[in-house]
Structure 1
Amino acid sequence: MASGSGNGDAGGGTFALKPWELHGEGREFEKISEDFGKAVSTLEQSLAALGSPWGQDRPGSGFAAAYKDARGGLLGGLRGLAGQLGQVGSGLHTMAERTVDAETAAAAGFGGAAGQGGPVTPAATPGARTTVPKDRSA
């Protein structure tokens, strides 16, 4: 996704963001989010299927009260985590699009082609959007 040299050499380091790789990683996070959400739903159904085996006596009632609060907090947190994983994927897509926009704008400002053979080709007409390949991995 990114490469760089942080060793302070006189030649300077390079840093390259490849939009198609950012999009690919974004799709991966979206898939992980979906899978995680399904696992949370399965867990929730499994816990519900257990019913309330702790009984109605005083110790059982005390356990039930604590368990229900803990279970609700756990499941709510896990659902929130699934959503946040999806937001990471969306953020990576946004980063890819902004990288293309920034490189295109910079190239247009210098009157040249973006990347000089790199991944981004500037738009032929002002205001036109560039096309970024979705995935170039082997």
Structure 2
Amino acid sequence: MSHGDGPARMQLNHATSSDYGAGATKGGEVLGIEVPELKLAAPVFGKQSKKLSRALTTLITTLDGLGEPWGDDPTGENFAKDYKSYQRSLEEAAGVLILGLVSIHEALDDMKDGHVDNEDLIKGMFTKAVRDRGDRDADGK
């Protein structure tokens, strides 16, 4: 889906037919994704997951390194309880995002490999086998 020398990009295929499954003939859209797009997209998710992971590690170590500046009085204890709860929630949410980015990266890689394997299989189905010269019959055919 690359146009000229420009970058590959995803496009929606607005042409619908019954070949695309249930709902496609009722105005459904089909997302057309090709191997070059998958090759470009997969690493982006991997890189971003690593960046987010480093940012989360920095956040955790920085906050933990600052200690607990609230006091031992009831107000400080209440603040600490809420603060720590929100901090854990934030860390867990960021962890879920990291795992999501990693899984998208892996899924796109798997999808790319599946498309390549499928293309090779289809090419093999429609390619004539070249006979070895030693296999020719008496007529030379």
- What's the offset of the Cα at 1:77? 1.6
Higher share of residues assigned strand:
2
Q: Is 1:80 aligned with 2:96?
A: yes
- What's the offset of the Cα at 1:4? 4.8
Structure 1 unaligned spans of 5+: 9-13, 114-123, 125-138
SS in 1 for 2:51: helix
Structure 1: how far apart are the matches of 2:92 and 2:57? 11
Aligned length: 109
Match of 1:85, as an amino acid? L
- What's the offset of the Cα at 1:45? 1.5
Structure 2 unaligned spans of 5+: 1-8, 17-29, 131-141
Q: 1:105 aligns with which of 117, 121, 137?
A: 121
Structure 2: how far apart are the matches of 1:99 and 1:47? 45
SS in 2 for 1:56: coil
Aligned twin of 1:33: 49
Note the aligned Cα RMSD (angstroms).
Answer: 2.6
Match of 2:95, as an amino acid? R
- What's the offset of the Cα at 1:68? 1.1
Larger radius of gyration, structure 1 or 2? Answer: 2
When the two structures are superposed, what TM-score results if normalisation uses the length of structure 1? Answer: 0.67
Match of 1:97, as an amino acid? D
When the two structures are superposed, what TM-score results if normalisation uses the length of structure 2? Answer: 0.66
Percent identity between matched residues is 26
Q: Which has the higher contact order (CA 8 A, sep 6+)?
A: 1
Structure 1: how far apart are the matches of 2:10 and 2:122? 19
Deviations 1:44-73 (A, max 9, x none): 122112211111001111111121121112
Q: Is 1:6 aligned with 2:22?
A: no
Structure 2: how far apart are the matches of 1:84 and 1:6? 29
Q: Is the 8 A contact 2:70 2:77 kept in 1?
A: yes
